[in-house]
Structure 1
Amino acid sequence: MSSFRPQLWTIPEVADTDKQRLPERTTLLEQRLRIIAERFPQAVFASSLAVEDMVITDMICRLQLPIRIITLHTGKLNAETEALIAATNTRYPIKLEVFHPIADDAAEFEQQFGATAMYDRVELRRRCCHIRKIEPLNRALATAPAWLTGQRRSQSDTRSELAFEEHDHARDIAKFNPIFDWEETDVWAYAQANDVPLNDLYRQGYPSIGCEPCTRPVKQGENIRSGRWWWESKDSKECGLHK
């Protein structure tokens, strides 16, 4: 029996060129966040607790901007992700506002379709995402004048056309992607330079982290989001938060 194990993704090495580019990237991020805060006081940053989101959280807190930071506790998070929520609240003065799914809706879904229904059909997976992510986000954004994400263009094919500012037509509010044009190494350069708290799953081969049943490590060289909903085609690999 072969004992070969594929090489898993590892945290990218930050090159000197990445470090040299970081001051310019950091200054631009600061400018973008200040613009958002000035135009939309009490805008909401929806943090997935990914490294990108932790970078933005760090900057919001450094600048003491009037931007609320929320996160979604889906009820299906890894222990490492739950630990990061606690670590973030310890590190920063701005406490995360945690939104949960409606317990009865989540329980009814699992009772009707089973705890592993997300693997059966895309329709059921999206319904699960709606209960655990989209509905709580809708509540979080109910009074928000605008919201922010940590999305980047180079994360996946479905995000290749991202812009700094968009309009969320479903909620009729502005939407911002302040690091839309950052590369993966830019994100890691900032995180390492500023000792940003991070999810320990990154050290276990997880470059993109969501709910525990829907996330797995990826092999070296694979797209960084290939471990999300890996049983689906790449065209369906979004939960609906950004549709």
Structure 2
Amino acid sequence: MDFESMSAEQLVRWTFQEFGEEAAIASSFGAEDVVIIDMAYRLGVKFRVFTIDTGRLPQETYDVMEEVRNKYGINVEVYFPDRERVEEMVRRFGPNLFYRGVELRRFCCRVRKVEPLGRALKGLKAWITGLRRDQSETRESIGKVEVDNTHGGITKVNPLADWTWDMVWSYIRAKSVPYNRLHDIGYPSIGCAPCTRAVKPGEPLRAGRWWWEQEKKECGMHF
């Protein structure tokens, strides 16, 4: 099957027809994710949505989560980090450990995001993400459909891989899709509140994530 020639809607439909309830949309409730949720709803397929609540999310993320729940009549499956792991980490390194070095930031991401993701994907055969190739250098080569060897060889579907930022927003406006209001004040990419800032004119879309770091930046959920 030539997945690269398929449209985003075709890929979303294929995923849920192929895997049924053993597939789910991973959502951080950023612009790309709400587009995918809207697509699934309009396609009339039965779909699941999960999210990782790190405990450090901005209020605007909870607001759009609630809007999405109400507009589409869905239950969002929320996964939290392990309480004991978070308590141990904060007692040992403090609440703002991520500012003190790349390794500590990655450790915080692992405890708050990567480990809960592993639990969310347990039992699934496929997951859908909002990754796009023009988001950053680390994402330039992603395929629309991939084998996710990090999570046991399940299928990973990136239906918006070849979309641009303008295409995402054209869809949101045309379909009146709920979105995170931080996007209106210069936040193209939104993660945990202390690790995200608005971007400056001319900066890359993900420049506001872990802005104090100079190297290529990912939390570990995808790479």
Q: Which amino acid aligns with 1:194?
A: K
User: What is the CA–CA distance in structure 2 between the aligned matches of 1:167 and 1:28, rounded to whole Å?
Assistant: 19
- Is 2:147 the partner of 1:176? no
CA deviations 1:156-197 (Å, max 9, x no partner) are 011000110111102121111001000010000000000000
Segments of structure 2 that go 5 or more residues without pairing to the other structure are: 1-5
2:174 aligned residue: 193
Mark the structure with the bigger radius of gyration: 1
* Paired residues, number: 216
Alpha carbons 2:110, 2:220 under 8 Å: kept? yes
Q: 1:41 is aligned with what amino acid?
A: G
Q: Write out the 4+ residue segments of structure 1 that deviate beyond 4 Å after TM superposition.
A: none
Kept in 2: contact 1:61–1:93 (CA 8 A): no
Q: What are the ranges of 5 or more consecutive residues in structure 1 without an aligned counterpart?
A: 1-26
Letter in 1 for 2:205: I
Q: 2:200 aligns with which of 214, 219, 226?
A: 219
Match of 2:51 among 68, 71, 87: 71
Corresponding residue for residue 23 of structure 1 = none
Q: Residue deviations 1:115-135, cap 9 Å, x none?
A: 111011111111111111111
Hey, what's the Cα distance between the residues in 2 that align with 1:234 and 1:181? 24
For 2:106 and 2:79, the matched residues in 1 are separated by 19
> Matches of 2:9 and 2:74 in 1, distance apart?
17
1:165 aligns with 2:162: no
Separation in 2, partners of 1:73, 1:82: 9
TM-score (ref. length: structure 2): 0.94
Give the aligned CA root-mean-square deviation in angstroms: 1.2
What TM-score do the two structures reach when normalised by structure 1? 0.86
Query: For 1:142-161, what aligned pairs fall within 5 Å after superposition?
Result: 142-161=122-141
Residues 69 and 75 in structure 2, CA contact (< 8 A), matched pair in contact too: yes
- Tell me the secondary structure at the aligned position of residue 134 of structure 2: helix
d(CA) in 1 for partners of 2:68, 2:111: 25
